[in-house]
A and B are shown apart, each in its own frame.
Chain A
């Protein structure tokens, strides 16, 4: 009853849903090639000291992993739509095991998205030391925790037909305000808003390994705060979500 087999089958299901799989991994990939491809020979993008392929690879890694984590919401909403959520409720599967399975599947998608983008980056000439690759990956994975909770929360709060637009718009908004595509202004309203968003710090975290500023206490506090709030919301949303959809 540890829910291990449940988790294993959940992972299997993600990998088998080819349309979902290809679209969620393919979109950031196409975007990366569209943006970074024409600039592949720019070695110092806007005097940042970073090559264009690397800069965009890192930005797209933040975007791709964020989408991957939130896509668990779409899967949850689909399960609720067919009543599977209620079926699970009349089994001894614990809240903890359920949430763990959902978080792990979201991370699996995020890792695959990273792998695809890293390989694509390398194909455009990105090269770093192994320790930098590892450090960057680790920072991203840690800063994705609040997004895991957010994905689960919206999956249980939104209806299957509203989750599409919510995800599309939400990810675009979080990515833009987080400075995924281009750096945010150094001060002003957008800057202030960005500082409060987990997506901003996700981008900062992924920049650390490639020469960005180390992430200060403020960044960790924002990530931790969002994690605490969203985890509570996700758990509550799951517990209350026993009705017919």
Chain B
């Protein structure tokens, strides 16, 4: 069964095209990471999948119906990116209040235990720290007992311990057969907790595939060196180098094996100086993924084909 099906989603805010033709298909029971840098269009896509934003073009369906119908049926629980809690309720009351809106919620005490806020249950929501607030928001999302759980950058503001227990709970929820879609800009989170990652950049899906393939693709290092008049074609042939480009007097080598590449570079080009080796961030990975072949709207780049 398909949990989420989106075809050609587009959304602009004024002159800004936030989402430019996104296709996403997620089966029931899958855990999928929506990965991308800030401004990639993740939150806007999520807003459309939840019925909070109306697409300018394209269509989204959730469990075969409109997003609004799925929401009204109580099938969806979500933790939105921006958001705090309303004040003047205890944590327990807040979770109970939200539970009362759903047809078959989880038990409030169970959810408080699950999200690690049982000892905060009698505190007023306005007294919580940032991390505690995030946990309470997580509780609000899962008390719905949702078939589809959507989380937009859920671990922002959580401390290490908070993250660990958060992901432990997520594993439990996933093992219960729920469909989970979470947005993140941490590759490690996608790798550790999702079966599959959808990479977004500049409002488009630039790659979609199993997380281990994504990791192999993104987990590269970059060597930057000043080397006037470098022969890019020759550099690309060096062992460990997957691509090379010129930036002014410098060259930037994306490497599958940076150790081999740096040895080869110094052997072949002894004049190279100002050398830096950095782990490629997602930002670089996206640039690379999109630079090789501009992805047309609705035409994600197959990962295997790129590597």
Contacts and interface: CB of A to CB of B under 8 A. Distances in A.
B114 interface: no
A84 B53 contact: no
Interface string B274-296: 00000000000000000000000
Given A6-B100, A91-B101, A86 B85 contact: no
B101 A92 contact: yes
Contact of A13 (B47, B89, B98, B103): B89
Contact of A84 (B52, B77, B85): B85
Contacts of B94: 9
A47 interface: no
A45 B240 CA distance: 96
Interface of A: 1, 3-6, 9, 12-13, 16-17, 79, 82-84, 86-93, 242-244
B78 A90 contact: yes
Contact of B86 (A3, A5, A82, A244): A82
Given A3-B100, A90-B50, A242-B53, 17 more contacts: A1-B74, A1-B102, A4-B100, A6-B97, A6-B101, A9-B94, A13-B89, A16-B89, A17-B87, A79-B86, A82-B83, A84-B83, A84-B86, A86-B52, A89-B51, A89-B71, A92-B103
B80 A83 contact: yes
Interface in B122-181: 140, 144
> Which 7 A-B pairs have CB atoms at the shortest separation, nearest pair first?
A83-B83, A5-B100, A82-B84, A16-B88, A13-B88, A91-B101, A9-B97
Contacts of A9: 89, 93-94, 96-97
A90 B53 contact: no
B88 to A, nearest CB: 4
B52 A89 contact: yes
A83 B82 contact: yes
Contact of B83 (A3, A12, A86, A91): A86
A243 B53 contact: yes
A214 B80 CA distance: 53
B85 A82 contact: yes
Given A1-B103, A9-B93, A12-B93, A90 B86 contact: no
B88 A12 contact: yes
B76 interface: yes
Contacts of A89: 50-52, 71
B302 interface: no
A91 B144 contact: yes
A245 to B, nearest CB: 8
Given A12-B89, A90-B52, A244 B82 contact: yes
Contacts of B103: 1, 92
B73 interface: yes
A92 B89 CA distance: 21
Contacts of A86: 52, 80, 83
B73 A87 contact: no
B88 A17 contact: yes
A3 B99 CA distance: 11
B72 interface: yes
Name the residue in A6, A13, A91 with the highest tally of chain B Cβ atoms < 10 Å from its Cβ: A91
Nearest to A89: B52
B83 A92 contact: no
A13 to B, nearest CB: 4
A2 to B, nearest CB: 9
Nearest to B133: A82
